[in-house]
């Protein structure tokens, strides 16, 4: 099977670092047209952009806060200006800000919900309209196992990721007739800036994994390349758990 995504325009939110940057680098190697999005991590975004431009000229970088409607519109406008269309939106932007519920401030709660869930609403609202006009598009929302089983000290994060799953299933029903699919991706445990200092999360995740040598990052990247291709066409409203945790 020949998997080719060189004709796809892919936007990844929050893609200056973490798994977002890994997806960007992977798509770039596959010669896709790609949009790097960042809000505060200008140094990381610039470094990633320079690295990719060495072997793929079909790349732009756009600063946009995806929790603000006007900036999401700007992200779409810059994508259309550069490439004329958008084929795939990957809602990857997210943060952790943990605490036990008696100690969690209202600000901490709202901040995580805003970035991890409300940004998905805004991006889907604005990008889906463009996809619906073209009668083609794919949306992938990055969720987490924490949204399915919960996690102590992460009620805000777990709630946002659970909300992402419900949102994905509902939106898939709304826009499927326009040939726009919406799916949620729950990666296996991957060390990122969000979790590298939290040993407890790592131990819990590894302890539930039934595979001896999980390679969650490669599994995620390989799946995303396939899912972005024309071989993955009629699947929508699904949650893909890319791990072996029970």
**20 phi/psi in degrees, rounded to 5:** -60, -45
How far apart CA 74 and CA 128 sit, in angstroms, is 15
* Residue 70 CB coordination number (10 Å): 10
Strand partners of residue 205 = none
Can 136 be counted among the known catalytic residues?
no
Cβ neighbours, 10 Å, residue 6? 12
CA gap 133, 26 in Å, rounded: 28
Q: Are 137 and 88 in contact (CB under 8 A)?
A: yes
- φ, ψ (nearest 5 deg) of residue 4: -130, 120
Of residues 74, 136, 157, 178, which has the active-site annotation? 157
> Hunting for tokens 């007739």 — which residue is that?
177
Query: What DSSP assignment string belongs to 206-224?
Result: HHHB-SSS--HHHHHHHHH
* Edge-to-edge strand ranges of the sheet holding 239-242: 59-63, 33-38, 9-12, 88-91, 137-142, 180-187, 239-242
Beta bridge partners of 185: 142, 240
Using DSSP's 3-state secondary structure scheme, residue 3 falls into coil
Residues annotated as catalytic (active site), given as ranges: 157
């Amino acid at each position: 099977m020949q998997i080719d995504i060189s004709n796809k325009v892919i936007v990844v939110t929050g893609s200056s670092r973490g798994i977002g940057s890994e997806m960007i680098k992977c798509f770039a190697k596959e010669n896709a047209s790609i949009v790097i999005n960042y809000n505060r991590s200008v140094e990381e975004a610039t470094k990633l952009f320079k690295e990719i431009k060495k072997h793929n000229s079909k790349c732009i970088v756009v600063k946009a806060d995806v929790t603000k409607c006007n900036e999401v519109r700007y992200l779409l406008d810059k994508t259309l200006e550069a490439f004329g269309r958008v084929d795939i939106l990957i809602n990857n932007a997210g943060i952790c800000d943990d605490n036990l519920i008696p100690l969690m401030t209202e600000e901490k709660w709202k901040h995580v919900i805003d970035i991890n869930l409300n940004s998905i609403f805004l991006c889907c609202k604005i990008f889906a309209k463009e996809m619906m006009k073209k009668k083609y598009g794919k949306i992938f929302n990055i969720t987490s196992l924490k949204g399915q089983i919960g996690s102590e000290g992460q009620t805000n994060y777990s709630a946002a990721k659970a909300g992402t799953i419900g949102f994905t299933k509902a939106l898939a029903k709304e826009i499927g007739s326009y040939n726009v699919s919406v799916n949620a991706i729950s990666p296996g445990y991957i060390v990122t800036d969000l979790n590298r200092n939290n040993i407890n999360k790592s131990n819990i995740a590894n302890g539930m994994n039934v595979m001896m040598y999980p390679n969650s990052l490669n599994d995620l990247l390989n799946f995303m390349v396939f899912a972005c291709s024309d071989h993955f066409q009629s699947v929508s409203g699904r949650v893909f758990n890319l791990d072996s945790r029970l």
